[in-house]
Amino acid sequence: MNIHNLTREAVLKSLVTSERGLSESEASKRLHEYGANEIKEVRKKSLYQKLFAQFTHFLAILLWIAAALCFLSEYLHPGEGLLSLGIAIIGVILINAVFTFVQEYRAEKAIEALKKLLPFNVKVLREGKAKEVRSEKVVPGDLILLSEGDKVPADARLIESNRLMVNNAPLTGESDAKPGSHDASTGDYLESPNIVFAGTLVVSGIGMAVAFATGMSTEFGKIAHLTGGVQERLSPLQKEIIRVTKIVAVIAITTGIFFFALGFFIGRGFWHNFLFAVGIIIANVPEGLLPTVTLSLAMGSQRMAKKKALIKTLTSVETLGSVTVICTDKTGTLTQNKMEVQKIWTIRSDQRSAVSGQQSDIHLMKIASLCNNATYTDGKYKGDPTEVAILKAAREARGDIKAERIFEIPFDSERKRMSTVCKIPLYPPFSKGELSGIPLFGKEGEGEILQEKFFVLTKGALEMVLPLCDKIFEGDNLISLNDENKKTLMRAYHSMMDEGLRVIAFAYKSVGAIHESPLQSDIAELESNLIFTGLMGLEDPPRPEVPEAIKKCKEAGIKVIMITGDAGRTAVSIAKQIGLVKGNPVVIEGREMHGMSDDNLREKLSSEEILFARMTPEHKMRIVSILEDEGERVAVTGDGVNDAPALKKANIGIAMGITGTDVAREAADMVLLDDNFASIVNAIEEGRGIFENIRKFISYIFASNIPEAVPYIAYIIFNIPLPLTIMQILAVDLGTDMFPALALGTEKPSPGVMKQPPRSPDERLLNFRVLRRAYLFLGPIEALAGLFGFFYVLNSGGWQWGTILPSYNVLYMQATTACLAGIIVSQIGNVFACRSSIESVFSLGFFSNRLVVLGIVAEIILSAFIIYHPWGNKIFGTAKLELNVWFILIPFGIGLLMAEEVRKFYVRRVDNDGIR
């Protein structure tokens, strides 16, 4: 069936539907027959493939080689305990693989759950009524209502169109929008202007189309089936974690080889040296780092969603923490988007909120009602908030007004106005003006319609409507628009703007008798020689939480720039109300941008307080580009189709979840589920907190590497019994450390995180300050605790220096257990120390993070099993410790915490660039 060749009637007949759309029962039947309208992901990696991948990455291969060497060594030189070590290493690989697999699976499921928070809804006509349905519920034969900003849900044939432009880039890659037409077409089906394809974007205009292919039957679905699923790229942070892991692994191997050679130099045997080298490698390799970071990011995304900020990619979480500039819309983001008409002005009506019986007031309300796409059905207003407020004011003043809309010239960001051509009935008695030929509307009435006339009705920004007018009402009289009444008009306009009102201008004209065809008229001709009717001032109060959010941004070193389509005076008034500006800010309006050079704009952007008014999306794109050229990390908000380039260009594109178009949400990195500016600030705070939490985790894990490595260095250099066995290292890395480390990933952002300047995007996660704190400050204290416990038990048992004890000796097992216990106790103190690199744990509260407390409880229970249970003793080569040993070890945990408190105090009071 060449559906593009068919006429409108033939299309409806072939798809067994009508101009009223499908019935609900028929739609349900077809949904069962054709299936859900969704693109199924093909060639997705199976769970088995994902699990297998955990055994073949870099670290796993490294450990496989170590295990193989252990088994080979046991075969060549049995009795050295290397068989147990080889089995233990395989255990590490298995545990790490399962842990990583589970964490990544949970992270994937978390992201999928977040995506479900933002359903893709579609407007369809069913049983003669427009309604919204989920996109997956669209079936062949459904009549889809398309308007600017919509994403087309299925392959469909246009049966109505009005200045419809569709961007096929998601399907063809060509970014130029093409006009749509509802007329029958010949030629190539894929190039036909009357076909719109699933996944493409409506750039402007309106239309109605009949769905004829859904789901995998669409052109988009066929391509997806051929190409398979696209593999998701690693985020920069994940790449850095892999990089860090490889660097640490290389350091560990290099260190192992160095001390292996050193052992030979001082006369140690091959097997002692080999055991040492393997121990050093395992002690330094951070096995669980990558999956834990991935999980932390996913958990952070979920927390952001609870704060009404939906993160679409994990990459965005990282970027949020480094944002330096927020370019935000005004309406609905800084304000409540609860529009209400506060003032109505017509010349000589003196800015009143009541509507008189003067012709100008009557006509203004008729234009407000008929040049409007909002609707009132079932006792509810639906549509754009501005249009809803205007329609509500008109209905309350004049009731429902009957007319037939013939033609619409839609609003767009360039024209900043919309016009409709309506056929309006005229009832008797005619007014004096109408009898004398003045193009006035007829009065509402009943009975026989004596005449019907076409009228062009226009509303929009004053600077775009006023130049199209040559007459104005003065009370009941129609007079020429001159300089004097223009001055009166502008005074009223400025007065309204100074009160923070959004001001809309209204105008109209008659376009002749009914036999004329306005559809064929030139648009410029239609919107010329209009009669100016009046102004409406709409109030949109600021959101109550925004002033505090603005204050937070200023404290955090984040500059907020308002970019609005409203007039400059309105923008300044609102900006002062929310605390965005205090003095006289630099205000740049759209017309100034055209002649402004980039250097001049760059200079203006350096101003402390700057606002942009009457901006188009193209202006917004230019502002974002220049800010990024200056090295700023920019977050920008947008809701319209033409905002998509700026959303893509920005470091973080933020779309509106309530008022935003599908196109904007598709282009954005983050979606505000409540359209609230405060949610952006909360998300930035959470983003900073997540980066901070990963550092806390790294500091905590890396600090324990030192007390695990130092015993091996002491063993090889000082000819003492090995203070810590490899199995005990594994007990720390994959056992006692794991629960508190995960709990650190759930830490709330610290109180001071939004009082610090933004993080540089070049700042490494693992930098010298982090390594210095972990390896040169926290780690040595833990190493001292472990070795002190080891030698305390040995000396208490009568050990003499130089005596080598066998691994099954009870005194030796108690001594190594004391070393293990010293590390565990120190790590308990360390988990509190790592909760913040600056803030005191006493100000944070010891019990403010319940998961940390639960992690410590789990660590203590696991330690008790390792030290006091026969199975734990057998697996890890431990022996029971007397109570007095714990008494001499616990002060080390407290001492580490107190030493860190002193360091933090020094950092806060003396040197912010100190050890952090």
User: Active-site positions?
Assistant: 329
Q: How far is CA 482 from the centre of its chain?
A: 51
Whether 298 and 111 have beta carbons less than 8 Å apart is answered as yes
How far apart, in whole angstroms, are the C-alpha atoms of residue 387 and residue 367?
A: 12
**Selection from 651, 558, 913 nearest residue 767 by Cα:** 913
Spell out the residues 6+ positions from residue 832 whose beta carbon is closer than 8 angstroms to its own. 841, 846, 852, 897
Task: Describe the chain by its helix, strand, coil percentages, rounded to 5.
Answer: 50, 15, 30
Integer Cα distance of 327 and 647 in angstroms: 11
- Work out whether strand 469-474 and strand 451-460 pair parallel, antiparallel, or are unpaired: unpaired
CA-atom Rg of the chain in angstroms: 36
Amino acid at position 178, single letter:
K
Alpha carbons 371 and 459: distance in angstroms, whole number: 7
- Could you tell me the maximum CA-CA distance found in the chain, to the nearest angstrom? 123
Supply the DSSP symbol for 312: S
Scanning the structure block, which residue is given the tokens 């209502």? 145
Strands 652-656 and 670-672 come out as: parallel
Residues 6+ apart with CB under 8 A from 603: none
Give Cβ neighbours of residue 201 (< 8 Å, ≥ 6 apart): 149, 150, 151, 152, 166, 167, 169, 170, 641, 662, 663, 666
- The whole-angstrom separation of Cα 830 and Cα 893 is 7
What Å distances lie between residue 418 and 250, 412, 460, CA to CA?
66, 8, 6
Alpha-helical runs (H) found in 15-57: 24-34, 47-53
Phi–psi pair at 905, nearest 5 degrees: -60, -40
Distance CA 596, CA 616 (A): 15
Is 648 exposed, middle or buried, given 0-12, 13-18 or 19+ CB atoms closer than 10 A? Answer: middle
What does the chain come to in residues? 916
Helical residues (DSSP H) of 442-567, grouped into ranges: 462-465, 483-498, 523-526, 546-555
Dist CA 716 CA 438 (whole Å): 107
Which of 802, 851, 699 minimizes the C-alpha distance to 303?
A: 851
Distance CA 804, CA 826 (A): 27
**Beta-bridge partners for 580:** none
Sign of the Cα torsion 899, 902, 903, 904 reads: positive
Residues paired with 352 in a beta bridge: 344
Coil vs helix vs strand at 652: strand
Pairing state between β 652-656 and 634-638: parallel
| Dist CA 772 CA 752 (whole Å) | 22
Q: Is 751 helix (H, G, I), strand (E, B) or coil?
A: coil
Do 681 and 635 form a contact (C-beta atoms < 8 A)? no
Interacting residues of 686 by C-beta distance below 8 A, sequence separation 6+: 300, 303, 304, 307, 309, 320, 749
Cα(328)–Cα(574) distance, integer angstroms: 13
Bridge partners of residue 559, in order along the sequence: 325
Tokens of 268: 């140690």
Per the CB < 8 A criterion, the answer to whether 152 and 196 are in contact is yes
